[in-house]
Amino acid sequence: MEVGELLSVLVDVQIFGTDYSTLELSSIVNDTRKVTENGSFIAIKGENFDGHDALDDVIKAGAKLLIVEKLPENWKELDAMFVKVTSTYRAQAVLASKFFNMPSESLNLVAVTGTNGKTTTSTMISDLLNALGHKTGLIGTIHYKVDETYYPAVNTTPNALELQRLYNEMLIAGCKDAIIEASSHALSLGRIWYSDIDCAIFTNLTREHLDFHKTMDNYAYAKSLLFAQLGQQFHNGKPRLAIINLDDPYHEVMSQATGANIVNYSLKNSNATVFADNITNYRGATSFQLYYKGQTYSVTLPMLGEYNVSNYLAAFLCMTVYYGYDVAAVLTATEQFHGVAGRMQSINEGQNFTAIVDFAHTPDALDRVLSELSERKQGKLIVLTGHSGGNRDSGARPEIGDLLFKYADEIVFTADNPRYESIDKIVSELVQQHDEKTFITIAKREEAIAYAVETAQTDDIILFAGKGGEAYQVIEDQYVPYNEVEVVREAIKNSLSK
């Protein structure tokens, strides 16, 4: 794409330097390490690095078009075309969409937002579509998936440039459907601007990220931006659709933000579009009755948890209302669903206790998981956790600590993305007034897991909470490869071999 054509989507800009309007661009990037000859570079001011400080280097690397908020003092001496904008973050979204030829307009794009349940719901939709013959793209907490190709996820929702690149890659791979997790950070920071969303899903809203949003009302507003972006026009022959959890207190905030068609789901209100009850858990599976359009259906999921029934109802509505599949087809596809990695995932290597890996790290998610496991336990309930996110919402720690000491018989505190915070500081804020209770702190997560496994006895339940399917451990600013499921599996094998 020529520079002039790319810049045609920007308004209210100032242009300086060499005129490269007719230059065919080789790339568009915001990472100094990815600059190519005759490429474009967008200077983003991040938390730890400002792209404006590296303009000389990116020009030496071959960049000819630079999108900036401020000009370098020596711009007249540099062989480049500078486009000055008010916000490079905002410009990035429209430029990326234009450069990749508005790829999301050619996709059926489903976006899922909520504090908990985003990964499970989005994975369910992707897997159900796969079972019905669709090639899908999936972007979320665990990984980024383009048909059968997987990439490690750094953020739940990548920046706008990477997101548009992934959409384009999905189209090249033959995908017609994309499901993305829309985090509150992504919505607040404009990462999904110029993503042409067709179906938006709201799972729930409970305390998280208040270090960023400050108040729950701000947090709810950020989530509602997804529904405000949904639009009302038809796309790919279908009307836009909002799918909303009627059981969540913030459901009206989401509903009022959109003019699109709305359907809802509930485990409490039988007047919802789809409703479920008679929920029972047995041997790693959950069975329930589903009520839809005057008919009753029996469904079994290979996952534990009432909340996963709620997630399934959202996926069910996406499949039946948005995609238009009949119930029989969706239920047949459901039989091929095998669960979600790191979400109430049972690890069984023949041991005499139950080992469960789950992503639960917010007060609400932990309350749901711990209350359910405490009801099922025959021995002790051992919880290994560390409050996901050093240098994050520390205000949630007392509440998390209360829940841990309420339900757990034994607690093993350890690292969970500590970043620059010490484990001892995190644990002290979790424990607070419960310091007389019994717990142990083992900083290295692998060693903590080995300890929990070694001390477990017959019929105990160990919940390994917080990491789930994350592929890394964040220590300071380093993303260290890590796989909780495999670490737990190996710890159990080692214990059994002794």
Token pair, residue 178, equals: 């994309």
Strands 177-181 and 108-113: parallel
Residues 51, 44 contacting (CB under 8 angstroms): yes
119 labelled binding-site residue: yes
Distance, CA of 154 to CA of 162 (rounded, Å) = 11
32 labelled binding-site residue: yes
466 labelled binding-site residue: yes
425 labelled binding-site residue: no
Distance, CA of 138 to CA of 147 (rounded, Å) = 8
The secondary element (H helix, E strand) that includes residue 158 is: none
CA distances from 397 to 30, 212, 421, 430, 476 (A): 35, 16, 14, 5, 20
The residues, ordered by sequence, that sit 6+ positions from 342 with a Cβ below 8 Å of its Cβ are: 142, 357, 358, 359, 467, 468, 469, 470, 484, 485
239 labelled binding-site residue: no
Distance, CA of 419 to CA of 350 (rounded, Å) = 35
What 3-state DSSP class applies to 213? helix
CA distances from 44 to 159, 184, 212 (A): 11, 20, 19
Question: 100 φ, ψ to 5°?
Answer: -95, 15
Q: How many CA atoms lie within 13 A of 107 on its CB side?
A: 33
CA distances from 260 to 181, 233, 402 (A): 19, 8, 41
105 labelled binding-site residue: no
483 labelled binding-site residue: no
155 labelled binding-site residue: yes
51 labelled binding-site residue: no
Distance, CA of 407 to CA of 409 (rounded, Å) = 7
334 labelled binding-site residue: no
391 labelled binding-site residue: no
115 labelled binding-site residue: yes
What 3-state DSSP class applies to 263? strand
Strands (E), 257-406: 261-266, 274-282, 285-292, 295-301, 345-347, 354-358, 381-385
72 labelled binding-site residue: no
419 labelled binding-site residue: yes
User: SS3 breakdown of the chain: % helix, strand, coil, rounded to 5?
Assistant: 35, 25, 40
468 labelled binding-site residue: no
477 labelled binding-site residue: no
Binding-site positions for meso-2,6-diaminopimelate read 392, 416-419, 466, 470
**Residue numbers belonging to the annotated binding site:** 32, 114-120, 155-157, 183, 191, 392, 416-419, 466, 470
Q: Which residues are annotated as a binding site for ATP?
A: 114-120
